[in-house]
Chain A
Amino acid sequence: MSLTRRDVEGIAHLARLEITEGELPVYVDSLSKILSFVEQLNAAQTASVEPMAHPLEGEVQRLRADEVSERDAHLKYQANAPLVSAALYVVPKVIE
């Protein structure tokens, strides 16, 4: 599998990552190598195999009751936020 610069630019956009001009050829090369490396999986016969859904057989994701279980601690959590105003996270304007 060989990716082009355009492919990597597209992947970086989907992943919301800014990649510099200098980084781009490095990722074109290493991502192509990784995808070629994982192509050896095609040799495995998996026609009648179920994809694995959980590392432990028979276990399913547990659900909890839909009840309030945490106290409000937004001041503590928002202490880590880059920009807060009136308990709201501030981002650049998104609606014109």
Chain B
Amino acid sequence: MSIHLRSVAELAAGLQSREFSAVELARHFLARIDKENGALNAFVTVTPERALADAARADAVRAAGKAGPLTGIPLAHKDIFCTDGIKTSCGSKMLDNFVAPYDATVVARLGAAGTVMLGKTNMDEFAMGSSNETSYYGPVRNPWDRSKVPGGSSGGSAAAVAARLAPVATGTDTGGSIRQPAALVGISGLKPTYGRVSRYGMIAFASSLDQAGILAPSAEDCALLFAAMAGFDERDSTSVDAPVPDYVAALGAPLKGLRIGVLKEFFSEGLDSATGALVEAGIAQLRALGAEIAAVSCPNLPLSVPTYYVVAPAECSSNLSRFDGVRFGHRCERPRDLMDLYKRSRGEGFGAEVKRRIMTGTYVLSAGYYDAYYLKAQKVRSLITADFRRAFAEVDLLAGPTSPTPAFAIGAKVDDPITMYLNDIYTIGANLAGLPAMSVPCGFVGGLPVGLQLIGPHFGEARLLTAAHAYQRETDFHRRVPAAYA
């Protein structure tokens, strides 16, 4: 089998048996990126020198008998993670000239585990988007059909893994930005519990919702990478100091007796019928594997999109106030005075969607409107979280679709923010409540992949990975690769 079609565990075995070296493996993927990235636009920065240096170090570690499960495994980082000495743009003109002065904790931990950095992936500007069309560097294309979007905001990571330009990639998920692109390109995506993975060095969008995770072909691949990312970090004040279970061992746990709730609110109008049928077939497969299936309702969940579009812009307007044209980032030419410096630097540096969200957030936080919008949304957020808490008293996991439709055409929704926002109708709830969730491939509609979403209780990642892995032992959707990239 071609090297790039192998799983992380298979690549690790090949490295361990000396079938190939880490340097040879890095060269293989760098050559693929060189050949294919032009048409996909998945990477914004490729780091061949860094990759070969990382790989040489990995080979030396292995020769010294000190290799771990990830030593020599190539990966791509979403360009939202700070990488010391390497441009970190967050998909924005504002940071087009920004060279990060330190590594994000996620980058440092995966580096310490022996991974090899291939480069930085394209993304919606400041992670604000569901189609990867808001990037300053242009849209990413879906490897299954290059006229379609790959989803967003981790669209570059998703496309890179789907086309096997990287075996795995990091991502972030504020309202679905790992799960929705994973679904739209036919790979697996894990969004962990809020606080499980450090946010240090991850450029902030909405701090009460942002969480780092993994995009990879399979749940097993996700578990291997996640095991190296998860855990307490004193540099993130919301990092949770709780024991990290053995996620890789959890893959082998039996599914029998696991109670899975089918969320009634996820099968309402707006769900494409062919997509819904595949998701129902996926749930039937889980039942056949021994899970108990029950109907569950979270009545406030339909309010998750409007809640999110108050809370997330509010936090974004606050977080993005740091971009002032003074300390780093874009600065306008010849400012007349300080106000002109701020306004023109920000007006020129931010794209249209980012400006729209900053202004939405500024409005809902402004005097006279705070109670009506922001406080109201935080109360509805409490209601949604309470719905999930009641559901998890009855079941172990929740299931439903990841996205209401398969990938749509580039340009189709870009002029209508509300239609675009509704792409995240099934993913936002988990962010509002801080819950872990996954998307796994469950079939194809018209040649385009569809994702099955599983949501767990707080710190229930092991259970999610158990269910996803059991499903993937019986199905091969996660092994399918677009013909052009096989």
Contact B358 A15 (CB under 8 A): yes
With contacts A31-B360, A61-B237, A61-B238 taken as known, whether A41 is within 8 angstroms of B376 at the C-beta atoms is yes
Q: How many residues of A contact B (CB 8 A)?
A: 54
**Does chain A have a CB within 8 A of B199?**
no
Contacts of A77 in B (CB 8 A): 101, 327-328
Q: Which residues in chain A, 56-96, are within 8 Å of chain B measured between CB atoms?
A: 56, 59, 61-64, 73, 76-77, 79-83, 89, 91-94
Contact A38 B306 (CB under 8 A): yes
Contact A44 B346 (CB under 8 A): no
**Closest beta carbon of chain A to B380's beta carbon, Å:** 5
Contacts of A18 in B (CB 8 A): 343-344, 346-348
Contacts of B355 in A (CB 8 A): 15, 17, 19, 23, 27
Contacts of A37 in B (CB 8 A): 306, 309, 418, 421
Contact A94 B234 (CB under 8 A): no
Instruction: Give bound CA distance, A79 to B85, whole Å.
Output: 11
Contact B306 A80 (CB under 8 A): no
Contact A19 B381 (CB under 8 A): no
Contact A56 B434 (CB under 8 A): yes
**Does chain A have a CB within 8 A of B326?**
yes
Contact A62 B359 (CB under 8 A): no
Contact A27 B380 (CB under 8 A): no
Contacts of B306 in A (CB 8 A): 37-41
The one of A13, A31, A38 that contacts B377, using a Cβ cutoff of 8 Å: A38
Instruction: Give bound CA distance, A49 to B385, whole Å.
Output: 12
Question: CB-defined interface of A22-44 with B at 8 Å, one 1/0 digit per residue?
Answer: 01001100110111011111111
Please give me the residue from chain A that is nearest to B369 by CB atom. Answer: A35
Contacts of B101 in A (CB 8 A): 73, 76-77, 79-80
Contact A49 B208 (CB under 8 A): no
The one of A31, A52, A63 that contacts B385, using a Cβ cutoff of 8 Å: A52
Question: CB-defined interface of B333-347 with A at 8 Å, one 1/0 digit per residue?
Answer: 001111111111011
Q: Which residues in chain B, 359-384, are within 8 Å of chain A measured between CB atoms?
A: 359-360, 362-364, 366, 373, 375-383
Contact B380 A46 (CB under 8 A): yes
Instruction: Give bound CA distance, A35 to B306, whole Å.
Output: 9
With contacts A15-B358, A82-B325 taken as known, whether A44 is within 8 angstroms of B379 at the C-beta atoms is yes
**Closest beta carbon of chain A to B431's beta carbon, Å:** 8
**Does chain A have a CB within 8 A of B240?**
yes
The one of A26, A42, A56, A93 that contacts B376, using a Cβ cutoff of 8 Å: A42
Contacts of B339 in A (CB 8 A): 16
Please give me the residue from chain B that is nearest to A94 by CB atom. Answer: B338
Contact B378 A51 (CB under 8 A): yes
Contacts of A55 in B (CB 8 A): 194-195, 208-209, 385, 432-434
Please give me the residue from chain B that is nearest to A76 by CB atom. Answer: B101
Question: CB-defined interface of B418-461 with A at 8 Å, one 1/0 digit per residue?
Answer: 10010000000000111000000000000000000000001000
With contacts A44-B300, A49-B382, A80-B98 taken as known, whether A33 is within 8 angstroms of B338 at the C-beta atoms is no
Contacts of A91 in B (CB 8 A): 326, 338, 341
Contacts of A76 in B (CB 8 A): 101
The one of A11, A16, A35, A93 that contacts B346, using a Cβ cutoff of 8 Å: A16
Q: A20-B347, A31-B363, A83-B331 are in contact. List 11 more A-B contacts (CB 8 A).
A: A8-B359, A16-B324, A17-B346, A26-B352, A38-B310, A46-B380, A49-B379, A52-B382, A55-B434, A56-B434, A80-B98
CB-based closest 8 A-B pairs: A55-B434, A18-B347, A51-B378, A82-B331, A80-B328, A46-B379, A18-B343, A38-B306
